[in-house]
Chain A
Amino acid sequence: MTPDINFGFGLSKSSRINLDNADNEKFRELAAREPDILKCMACGSCAASCSAGNFTELNLRKIILMLTRGAEKETVRQLESCMFCGKCILVCPRGINTRHLIKSIREIYCRPCAEPETGNGI
């Protein structure tokens, strides 16, 4: 048994995204069900028009981005603030059905509805 030699220092977790691990099963399932997610060009219209985004961390542009980078934990938790008002559908220039997309993300990534995760989620 190794002695406890915690001097009050610890290593910070790296915030780097390792793209070698970006392809996970959940994202492939999501892309199969919602192929339009690939069309996002990160313009930010959805986040700009989002009612909930004014008061919470919710940002659909970032969520889509982080899912395509294989980082999901923090972003999926953000979706809990979505009220499904659908304003983001109206403004999306690529015609993505964002409300349906959010529903699918929640179904695939929160199954069974996961405990809120802590940490930086990367």
Chain B
Amino acid sequence: MDNNYNTIIIGAGPAGMEAAYRLSVFGIRTCLLEKEAETGGHLLKWDRIFPEGRKASEILGFMRKRIESGNITTITSARIDSIRKKAGNGYEAELATNEGKKTITADTILIACGFKLFNAAKKEEYGYGIYNRVITNADLENLFKTNSTGSIIGENRTPAVGFVHCVGSRDEKAGNRHCSKVCCATAVKQAMEIKEAYPQATVYCFYMDLRMFGRHYEDMYLEAQQKYGIRFIRGRVSEVSEDCNERIVAKAEDTLSGKPVKITLDMLVLMSGIACNPDSGKITGSLSIENDSDGFIKYADSIFGQVKGPGIFTAGTCTGPKTLPETINEAGEAAAVIYGYLKGNSNNF
């Protein structure tokens, strides 16, 4: 079999899948690599996507259909043992796959290795991994997917549920100075979903700033307040403990009233943020491109994006937090730039 491609795409999450599809339309032959057994990346873990609450499985199904193309070779469970520039032009990667070792070559590389969800157990004061009723945003999506929120909340039809924004984001001590961008909208979405499932629930969001920046996101905030009666408390939860009934007691400052608040909860959801994928360092290291101090891959230009190496491109959250539509857009843009590059138009920085 021919192992020469126009582009190797590293990561078959939304960015990699969309770029592969766009490139296939241009007639560009790509090899789409995924380290997990399935394509889809973080979309696999999510139940619904803001702002409209579309099913992640539906979006993923659509994207998977689009990469069924003769121009795309998808290899899952693939491990990149080495990747390097060939003498002359192009790149070479050695892979370990289910079918054994394999060497592939290509003219260009698209890095779309995405992000890692912040490990909430690092914020010990929130008790993730210690108290059963403390879960993360990803855990809650899984509970929604499997229709099993009752496994945490129990039979209580009037539960109190809290959401903690900015877990591992805007937190220098946790090593992430940046805002993860998507968690505010996700928290508001999940808070409303809890109210859908438990109309009698009392739901609190503990936020530092509400960053509802995108189109229709502010509408979500208004809907959460008006239709669902979600209570927003400006203040970061400072400590979490368990009472004798194994319910969660959370403390925070209500910074708008300047008073400390205490609340007993049946479930506490930590909004784990977008952290850099540590694996991206291995790839960038062997390709002589840089990562920033925050661990994300460095853009060559703060306005026009892209990276410094000739024939190396990026898409999606490997260069910082992005929403799903932003990721999709950047993947399409990367495909256009790669197409131009292969046609001899070098607009690299």
Q: Which A residues are within 8 Å of any B CB, using their own CB?
A: 15-20, 22-23, 31, 35-36, 38-42, 61-62, 65-66, 68-69, 94, 122
Partner of B225, one of A18, A22, A38: A38
Whether B261 pairs with A15 at a CB distance below 8 angstroms is: no
Within 8 Å CB of B256, what residues of A? Answer: 42, 61-62, 65
A23-B202, A42-B234, A69-B254 known; A15 vs B259 contact (CB < 8 Å): yes
A90 to B: closest C-beta gap in Å: 20
Chain B residues within 8 Å of A36, by CB: 226
Most chain A beta-carbon contacts within 10 A, residue among B160, B202, B226, B257:
B257
* Contact surface of B with A, Cβ cutoff 8 Å: 160, 202, 204, 221-222, 225-226, 229, 231-232, 234, 254, 256-257, 259-264
Given contacts A15-B260, A17-B254, A38-B226, 12 further A-B contacts (CB under 8 A): A17-B259, A18-B263, A19-B204, A19-B262, A22-B231, A62-B256, A65-B254, A65-B257, A68-B231, A69-B254, A94-B222, A122-B259
The reply to whether A62 and B226 contact each other, CB–CB distance below 8 Å, is: no
Which 10 residue pairs of A and B lie closest in terms of their CB atoms, listed nearest first? A19-B263, A17-B261, A16-B260, A38-B225, A20-B264, A17-B259, A42-B256, A38-B226, A39-B226, A65-B256
The answer to whether A35 touches B261, judged by C-beta atoms less than 8 angstroms apart, is no
A35 touches B226 (CB 8 A): yes
Question: Is B262's CB under 8 angstroms from A18's CB?
Answer: yes
**Quick one: closest A residue to B257, CB to CB?**
A65
Output the nearest chain A residue to B232 by Cβ-Cβ distance: A41
- Complex alpha-carbon distance, A94 and B254, angstroms: 22
B222 touches A39 (CB 8 A): yes
Q: Is the CB of A17 within 8 A of B257?
A: yes
For A66, list chain B residues within 8 Å (CB): 257
12 A-B pairs whose Cβ atoms sit less than 8 Å apart in the complex: A16-B260, A19-B261, A19-B262, A19-B263, A20-B160, A20-B264, A41-B221, A41-B225, A62-B257, A65-B257, A68-B231, A122-B259
Q: How far is the CB of A30 from chain B (nearest CB, A)?
A: 12
On chain A, the residues within 8 Å of B254 by CB distance are 17, 65, 69
Chain B residues contacting A65 (CB-CB under 8 Å) are 254, 256-257
Q: Which residues of the other chain, B, contact A62 by a CB distance below 8 angstroms?
A: 256-257
B259 lies within 8 A of A16 (CB): yes
Q: How far is the CA of A41 from the CA of B160 in the complex (A)?
A: 21
Cα(A41)–Cα(B231), bound, Å: 10
Q: Hey, which chain A residues are within 8 Å of B229, CB to CB?
A: 31, 38
Min Cβ gap A42→B in Å is: 5
Contact between B225 and A39, CB atoms less than 8 A apart: yes
Closest CB of chain A to B153's CB: distance in Å? Answer: 16
A16 & B261 in contact (Cβ 8 Å cutoff): yes
Q: Which residues of B contact A69 (CB under 8 A)?
A: 254, 257, 261
Point out which of A39, A62, A69 has the most chain B C-beta atoms below 10 A from its C-beta.
Answer: A69
Identity of the chain A residue whose Cβ is nearest the Cβ of B260 in the assembled complex: A16
